[in-house]
Amino acid sequence: MPYLRLAIPSPLRRLFDYLPPQGCDLATLQPGVRVKVPFGRREITGVLIELAETTEVPLNKLKPAIAVLDDAPPMPDTIFKLARWAGNYYQHPLGDALSQALPVLLRKGEPCEYTHQHLWRATADADISQLGKTAARQRELLLLLMEHPNGISEGAIRAEGGQTPLLKKLVDKMLAESFIHKPNHTEHNDQPLHEAPLTLNDEQHHAVSKITATEGFKTYLLQGVTGSGKTEVYLQAIEHYIRQGKQALILVPEIGLTPQTVARFKARFNLPVVVLHSNLTDNQRLDAWLQAREGVARIIIGTRSAIFTPLRNPGVIFIDEEHDTSFKQQEGFRYNARDLAVMRGHLEQIPVVLGTATPAIESLYNAKQGRYQWLKLNKRAGDALPPKFELLDIRQLPLQDGLSQPLIQQIKGHLQQGTQVLIFLNRRGFAPTMMCHDCGWIAGCHRCDAHMTLHRKPYHLHCHHCDSQRPVPNVCDNCGSHDLKPVGAGTERTEELLQALFPEFPVIRVDRDTTQRKNAMQHIMDRVHQGFPCILIGTQMLAKGHHFPKVTLVAILNADSGLFSADFRGMERTAQLILQVAGRAGRADHPGKVVMQTHHADHPTITSLVTEGYEAFAEQELSQRIGAHLPPSIYCAMFRAEANHPGQAERFLNNLRNLLAEDILQPQGIQWLGPLPSPMEKRAGQFRAQLVLQSHDRKALHQQLHNIICQVDSDPEARKVRWSVDVDPVDM
Ligand code: ADP
Ligand code: ZN
Ligand code: ZN
């Protein structure tokens, strides 16, 4: 008798065998269906990988599965393959990888059907006179059903004051029935557009025609300077696929921050646009997933996890702001949705477009190697001109809460000419630290190797690494002095100064603290779009893809902050951020200017970035990485470990390193670095360390990871620390 071999969401990197449930028809079982099984003391939902003829589990240990939950696999074959591939590639337990590819309700074993479309209606020949006078509440309910011939949900019945427990009585009397309402399949729509598309310029036209002429799979790197009209390229390429009855999947870094992008899609297409954002309930998420799977939703916009959204007629995939690190999941299943998109395009045989003004060095490398086809938009769309840069050398200049006098004068000038000013400062809170003026003590986090940030509203100290908070002390912990001073400036403090300097203009702060409430970002955008002169001050939230036509001056207060970071990608991130922020200037008919305050006005990277642009910078950066044997010229994986006591994590990784050294099956050409304490060794009370493996040979690296993980998994010592492996890590 065959056994069910299942992938089960658990930390164990293996499959599990079960006996088929009673009365199960094995002939109809397809891989990919969900199976409910007993697991430890729980019941859990697994996914059938195969029917196995033999098993290593002793027969008396083998348990029967409880039930097969699906007639057909909920995931189409390509998603099944993609999730399996990803589990393998990222060295993540297969059961968990498959589970994460499903909507939460399906992970929990709920039926794979629309949740909101379970409706009630009166039967065709229902007659109210069949109910006796005594059944007043049943009469009311039946009347309500009769008022809704197209069906009404239980929720709506309750909202109307109807008594849902009585539905069963009506069903027994054949007066009411329930049915599944499926959204309409609008396979063909002669008028897929609400509004006429813009006339493309030559560069845009070239990009759209290349993408839409693709046969099968190909990856494009669409590198377009900010304001070059990349979104218009997406829209018109998507139109092509829509007219063929196909669907488009668009991944964006963060939906709440870019309501405008979603609005542009909805304004353009007269078709169901489904947005998978974090505020959806589990029910809404399942419904959206089903609509995508059944081809009802034609355009699907979502963040990272949307890469696993099934499509009935896949046409094209876009990754907007492909350089953004939010596409990489930083815990658990550490996949990179951008890289999975390329894999998915290959599986589905459709084009994949990676769009950005500032490509990741990895993507640039792939484009240079010919793996991606390079499409460039070098000019801004319409009549907009590129912004002019000014490096403002602030060495020896006094700073007033982060602002130098020459900058204050320029801000004044722009406001007086009636335009808007955007000020970028990558630190929220009032001041990054609080210091004792008498002894130099600094308020630190008790759980991290980090300073605590002083916040004014509400007044408290806050650690931005572990989120712990405490009251602001009145006296120094070290010497008892009362002379405690905030040091440096965060957005709250600079906001206060700007309000004092320019009382006649609104100052609008945009950071995590001011945008927490639902639709807060939308309200801020609406205010800015009214066009009155104002000052926007904020963190990188302001950098993400917004369009501010009235902003003529962009000021970057601490342009140097990422230059000397321990992470070799610090320079790349700084450059991307500077150009993204700068790109908010002068996007319409107003010329824009970007002022960068810096202590390193002659730093070669900064000067090449502002005089020659991102591509020149990126070329230099890439050749340095190749010279230093760093990614992307080499493949990389990282073991991380953390433990409650100092040294514990490092000892564990040291043992791992010794295992590596002794591994007789070790493939050629693997180097390892470390273990070393992590850049911030103590974080949230945990002591952390890391060990890096590198190779020019991706296969060898994966072979090595696989060997070593098998050994660690069977080592009881490993359970004393929390460890993880990160393939292609983005922060090191
Ligand atoms: P990007 O995404 O590259 O930063 P957008 O797609 O947001 O750029 O376009 C910037 C602005 O230029 C938008 O206001 C857009 O409507 C406008 N635009 C784009 N393409 C064209 C075009 N071909 N003709 C005129 N305006 C255009
Ligand atoms: Zn002191
Ligand atoms: Zn902390």
DSSP H or E run through 649: helix 648-662
Tokens of 568: 């070799």
Nearest to 573 by CA among 583, 559, 589: 559
Reply yes or no on whether the pLDDT at 683 is more than 60: yes
Per-residue pLDDT, averaged over 671-693, amounts to 93
Cα separations in angstroms, 590 against 230, 385, 419, 553, 707: 20, 8, 9, 10, 59
Which residue type is seen at 689?
A: A
Q: Check residues 460 and 520 and name the one with the higher pLDDT.
A: 460
Q: Is 448 annotated as a binding residue?
A: yes
What pLDDT score does 369 carry? 94
Best of 206, 225, 232 to mutate for ligand 1, by most ligand atoms within 8 A of CB? 232
Taking residue 288's Cβ as centre, other Cβ atoms within 10 Å add up to 23
* Kind plus residue range of the DSSP H or E element containing 223: strand 218-224
| 74 φ, ψ (degrees, to nearest 5) | -65, -35
Query: What would the mean pLDDT of 65-87 be, rounded to a whole number?
Result: 95
Residue range 110-127: mean pLDDT, rounded: 85
Report whether 476 belongs to an annotated binding site: yes
Q: What pLDDT does 319 receive?
A: 97
Residues in the chain: 732
Measure the CA–CA gap between 493 and 487, rounded to whole angstroms: 11
The answer on pLDDT for 190 being more than 70 is no
Helix 230-243 to helix 259-268 angle, to the nearest 10 degrees? Answer: 40
Q: Is the CB of 260 under 6 A from ligand 1?
A: no
Is the CB of 204 within 6 Å of ligand 1? yes
Three-state helix/strand/coil letters over 231-276: HHHHHHHHHHHHHCCCEEEEECCCCCCCHHHHHHHHHHECCCEEEE
Q: Please say if the pLDDT value at position 624 is more than 60.
A: yes
If pLDDT is split at 50, 70 and 90, which confidence band does 183 have?
Answer: low
Q: What is the DSSP letter of 440?
A: -
What pLDDT score was predicted for residue 696? Answer: 94
**pLDDT recorded at residue 545:** 64
Tell me, what DSSP letter sits at residue 713?
A: H
pLDDT for residue 310 is more than 60: yes
**Nearest ligand, measured from the Cα of 465:** 3
Q: What is the DSSP string of 589-611?
A: SS--EEEEEES-TT-HHHHHHHH
C-beta of 230 in contact with ligand 1 (< 6 A): yes
| CA of residue 28 to ligand 3 center, whole Å | 54
Of 628, 613, 621, residue with least CA distance to 583: 613
Q: Is 466 annotated as a binding residue?
A: yes
What are 123's two structure tokens? Answer: 């039967």
Neighbours of 279 (CB within 10 A): 10
Percent of the chain with pLDDT over 70: 97
Q: What is the pLDDT of residue 587?
A: 62
- What is the predicted pLDDT for the residue at 241? 96
Per CATH, the number for 3-108 is 3.40.1440.60
Distance 732 CA to ligand 3 centre (A): 19
Is the per-residue pLDDT at 182 higher than 80? no
HEC string of 376-394?
A: EECCCCCCCCCCEEEEEEC
Where are the alpha helices (H) located in 294-360, listed in sequence order? 337-348
pLDDT at 185 over 80: no
Q: What is the pLDDT of residues 256-290, one digit of tens each?
A: 767 778 888 989 998 888 998 877 888 889 989 99
Among residues 344, 336, 330, the alpha carbon closest in space to that of 362 is found at: 336
Of 406, 357, 380, 389, nearest to 553 by C-alpha is: 389
Centre a 10 Å sphere on the Cβ of residue 637 and count the other Cβ atoms it contains.
23
The Cα-based distances of 306 to 248, 297, 405, 526, 589 in angstroms read: 12, 13, 47, 28, 36
DSSP tag of 452: P
pLDDT at residue 109 in the model: 94
How many Å lie between the centroid of ligand 3 and the Cα of residue 731? Answer: 19
Residue 112 labelled as part of a binding site: no
Distance 685 CA to ligand 3 centre (A): 8
663: pLDDT strictly greater than 80: no
Q: Rounded distance, CA 533 to CA 513, Å?
A: 23
pLDDT at site 133: 78
Q: How confident is residue 233, by pLDDT bands cut at 50, 70 and 90?
A: very high
Give the pLDDT of residue 161.
80
Q: 455 CA to middle of ligand 3, Å?
A: 15
Ligand 1 centre to CA of 184 (Å) is 33
Nearest 5°: phi and psi at 48? -70, 125
User: Which pLDDT belongs to residue 148?
Assistant: 85
Q: Tell me, what's the pLDDT at 588?
A: 63
Three-class secondary structure of residue 669 per DSSP? coil
CA atoms within 13 Å, Cβ hemisphere of 489: 21
Which of the listed ranges 165-174, 501-510, 611-620 does the model predict with the highest average pLDDT? 501-510
Residue from 182, 145, 179, 176 nearest 160 by CA = 145
DSSP 97-153: HHHHTS-HHHHTT--SS-STTEEEEE-TT--GGGS-TT-HHHHHHHHHHHH-TT-EE
CA 464 to ligand 3 center in whole angstroms: 7
Where do the domains of the chain lie? 3-108, 118-180, 202-377, 388-429+490-628, 635-727
Q: 613 pLDDT exceeds 70?
A: yes
Pocket test for ligand 1, best of 231, 261, 385, 548 (most atoms within 8 A of CB): 231
Residue 102 is classified by DSSP as S
Residue identifier of the C-alpha nearest atom 15 of ligand 1? 229
Indicate whether residue 201 lines ligand 1 (CB < 6 A).
yes
Sign of CA dihedral 352, 358, 363, 369: positive
Answer whether 366 contacts ligand 1 (Cβ < 6 A).
no
Query: What pLDDT does 549 receive?
Result: 84
Q: Which CATH architecture has domain 202-377?
A: 3-Layer(aba) Sandwich (3.40)
Task: Examine domains 202-377 and 388-429+490-628 and report if their fold is the same.
Answer: yes
Query: Which is it for strands 460-462 and 399-400: parallel, antiparallel or unpaired?
Result: unpaired
Cβ(321) – ligand 1 distance below 6 Å? no
Each residue of 537-557: pLDDT tens digit?
Answer: 999 888 876 778 889 999 999
E strand segments, 560-634: 593-598
Q: What does the DSSP 8-state code read for residue 667?
A: P
Average the pLDDT over 328-343 and give the result. 96
In CATH terms, the fold of domain 388-429+490-628 is Rossmann fold (3.40.50)
- Ligand closest to the CA atom of residue 476: 2
Amino acid at 85: W
Tokens of 613: 């642009």
Report which of residues 26 and 337 the model is more confident about. 337
Nearest atom in ligand 1 to the alpha carbon of residue 549 is: 14
Q: Would you state the structure tokens that stand for residue 658, as one six-digit string?
A: 């010794």
Residue 495 near residue 507 (C-beta atoms within 8 A): yes
Structure-token pair, residue 201: 């310029």
Task: Check pocket membership of 24 for ligand 1, CB cut-off 6 A.
Answer: no
Distance CA 254, CA 546 (A): 12
CA distances from 310 to 48, 58, 88, 235, 307 (A): 18, 38, 20, 21, 8
How far, in Å, is the centroid of ligand 3 from the Cα of 453?
A: 10
Contacts of 186 (CB under 8 A, 6+ apart): 271, 272, 296, 298
For tokens 């405690």, the residue is 484
**Segment 611-632 mean pLDDT:** 92
Is the omega angle on the peptide bond into residue 74 within 30 degrees of 0, that is, cis? Answer: no
- What is the pLDDT, as a whole number, of residue 308? 97
Whether the per-residue pLDDT at 186 is higher than 80: the answer is no
Better-predicted residue by pLDDT, 196 or 320:
320
Task: Kindly report the average pLDDT of the chain as a whole number.
Answer: 90
The rounded distance, in Å, linking the Cα atoms of 7 and 584 is 47
CATH number of 635-727: 3.30.70.600
Using CA atoms, how far residue 361 sits from 368, 371, 376, 514, 607, in Å, is 10, 14, 16, 32, 19
Q: Whose CA is nearest to atom 6 of ligand 1?
A: 229
d(CA 431, CA 489) in angstroms, rounded, equals: 5
